[in-house]
Structure 1
């Protein structure tokens, strides 16, 4: 399950990065870029906290 969440979070991170380059190159419109980046942001912030820094917790 944790590995699946990692993949989804990386996909979300890619969706926040690549649409801006695609817009710059003229491959997509601004509206599509905004939608993809918003979707990527939501995916990243929902999935990433569930697996990040889990190995660094102290055992108290």
Structure 2
């Protein structure tokens, strides 16, 4: 993967992308002694791009 912070000319906030990628990756790792939360809370007001940024990160990672 090319993990720069753009996709199709759209910018993804680096801190947002890092947190989401780490959360998804940790949930797929087998770490018996470490408890990883299943849910990641994403806070922000209506229309601030929470879902849109998630969709961009998922597309960047190849997640459908």
Task: Provide the TM-score with structure 2 as the length reference.
Answer: 0.34
Structure showing the higher strand proportion among its residues: 2
Task: Provide the TM-score with structure 1 as the length reference.
Answer: 0.36
Structure showing the higher helix proportion among its residues: 1
Question: Computing the radius of gyration over CA atoms, which structure comes out larger, 1 or 2?
Answer: 1
RCO (CA 8 Å, sep 6+): is it higher in 1 or 2? Answer: 1
